[in-house]
Chains A and B, each alone.
Chain A
Amino acid sequence: MPRHPPGEIWTNNGTEPEWIDPGKCAENAGSVIDMNTFAGLTQPHPKTLQPMPEIARTWSIADGGKRYTFWLRPTQWSDGHALTAEDFVYSWKRVLDPATGSKYNTFLYPLENAEAFGERALWIAGLPADFETAKLEALLAPLAPIAKTKIDHAHGWAFAFVKSEGAAAAADKAKVIAALNGKTIAGAAAPLTVKIADGSVVGVRALDDDRLEVRLENPVPYFLSLVSFYTAMPVPRHVLERLAKEGKNTDLWTRPEYFVSNGPYVLKEWKFRQYMTLEKNPYYWDSANVRTPRIRLLMVEDENTVLNLYKTGEVDYIGSTVNLPPEFLDYLRPMKDFVSHPFLAVYFYWFNTKVPPLDDARVRRALSLAVDRQGITEFVTRGHQIPSATLVPDGLAGYHSPPATLFDPVEARRLLKEAGFDQQHPLPKMTVIYNTMESHRTVAQAIQQMWKKHLGLDVEIANLEWKVYLARQQAMDFQISRGAWVGDYPDPYTFLELLTGQSNNNNSNWRNAEYDRLLAEGNSTLDQVARMKLLRQAEELAMAQMPMMPIYIYTRNELAKPYLRGFWGNIQTHTAMKYWWIDQRFYKDAPAVPQEDPPPPMPTLPPAPVTADGAR
């Protein structure tokens, strides 16, 4: 039985969140708070994660998937202030603005010209209508090193991305502005205007209070899932502006005394590194269906301590951010409280493809084939992870990865021989780096033994402190490195993007034009079947080249009290607390009732009727 008052649910949120500002949050602990206190245009279904209407009651898609119009339902912030489409415009531009410091600002780069704003590109207006990229580059080349240019004929603008970094970039941009601003180009109607791109260039605008228009750079088939993510949730502009007017630090708006949100719950109490209390938001549009008045989220980091709290009934759910201690899994698994489900994340090893002998795809594939993934998940990690030799977990938007061999040491030895390595010419000694964590160490040791046994390869494993590991990885100062990737949205592209040439997080030194082309082509088609085929071809190409070696797909193992209802595990461990409730029948020793089914997908509603005078 719970040891807390009825009408409350207690869970653990793992640690003190860095930010609970949805625009600045970039980690799990903050995301749990954001996903339950704020509401985006859409919301993920609690079981399937399919996007359903939330603040947007409906939407239309035009221009081949490049223009979305969202009709917002009449909603209010938790202080009763009306929420309008302008709040979304403000919030999204705030995320994109580098001055905000949002670590996830690239998340909104699918918006038209968002990258130009986010990268502080040069905005050039006044070019002749027939101006071409080559001419623009010729114009800019003598002034500054240019990474790329983009001409937007529809608006009569162009953007130039300066290649230099830091102080040099600022100086180069100033040089271009000084040289070109006010200069007249032959054939142009007016002199050039050159400045750093600001938020006005971004493809999002409020058509009126309840209509939001979003223009995308390219069609994004998973866009409706993107806008349910916390980064795309609105922040209360009126509160931030009020704080600024009062001369207060606007970052403090998420403190309970100023906190205003638009989701199922509001933040009532925040004890630093102890707990947060959320209270039902009476202004939430769907508050009639929010069943539990209060939720308390503890911030307990130690997994054994969490288990103790669960055992003594102080928490009803161990939370989605802390793992169960692996040594207890065999004992806990048969319990009726035990919940296990796949998690949208993959564990892998990066290969530095510029370093011999890892610059040979045959060597990389041989290393991959010599790893007994089944053995790792069964005897090393023991958390029912899913062995995988492909990057993308199965089932996302109906996607299935190409077939891949999990373990074939004979073929591995053949490939090595083909690459010129055998007993007489063994592979040189290599090093695997990983960050300090028991589970990483045991996996690395297992792989070390497998490579020794099956390939005769001597591998050293090096344990590095977290920030040192990151610094080495960022500088590409490694041969083989542990890695993992958690998907942001339920679409294969959230994983496949990792290996693209432009990805900031591609730690393999592997770039492949064909791979990038297949993904770009896939993402520009609205035909979902054709798209999945192209994405699959891209993954097949990447796995044949093996710039990284997938090992397993994560699973989440959790404990939730049987009296906790409205709780369905999903692949993103998205904890939709609005559905949670405690079944009081358990207090009365009534017979156990089975867990209820998840709610049916919420239908989109027609736009609000327009009155004769045009008002809604």
Chain B
Amino acid sequence: MSGALPAALARQSFIELTARERARALLDPGSFRELLGPFDRLASPWLEQQGVVPQEDDGVVLARGLLGGAPAVVMAVESGFQGGSVGEVGGAKIAAALEAALRDRQRGVPIRPVLVLETGGVRLQEANLGLAAVAEIHAALVALRREAPVVGVVSGMVGCFGGMSIAAGLCSHLVVLRQARLGLNGPEVVEQEAGLDELDAADRPLVWSLVGGEQRYLTGLADALVEDDAGAVSGAVRRAFAVPAPAAARSERVGLFLDRLAAIDPAAPPGAAALRYAWGGRR
């Protein structure tokens, strides 16, 4: 009798992991070291006065460690706290880690930065300070990406929306799962602002067909599509650092996307499948 488990049982769902467990799963075994963890008690200074119980890590986990033997930092948003929303402290943690990674790179440390983005965007209770933090994350990301590849992971099930979807758009390399969703406005927000005729947020197959992980991968807006398995995600992240970064990041390819938009007739817009054909060319 062999002791090997069937593959389906041996797999460890990445989606079901907390942000802390995700960071640990990505890093080389035994190398995980959390920075500004719960015992540092850097909670949000704004939530209590609004009747919301703060969390001592403000819903962001920072971990140093090794990735394929190279120094790394993982920045993971915990979607279980306030919908993975970015407040002043959590946003500052991500920005500060990106800024520190840039200083490392500038002094020759080949650090590998990984963003795990499961977030609804700016935390409404900290509106302008969340927005300011997101702008500082963007600034640090652009500066770091000139020195080093930055890899993003969007797995599900919350998705990656709002200002943090822009951060995903700034990454050198994006790893997604089928369960992931990536877009500027969440479907509920589009329905609320533009009406049910524009988008029925309750139509899950429709939503995933528009902004789901597989669609993003097949239209070239993400670089790797992997199964919901911690080993597979970790492998995809390692492969992203092993290949040379693209000559131009996706957000720099202005001519290509202006041409693509010019070819689209908004009065007769392409569907999700037609767009895979027009933009994908992957398979």
Are these two chains actual partners, yes or no? no
Q: Report which A residues bind B (CB closer than 8 A).
A: none
Q: Report which B residues bind A (CB closer than 8 A).
A: none
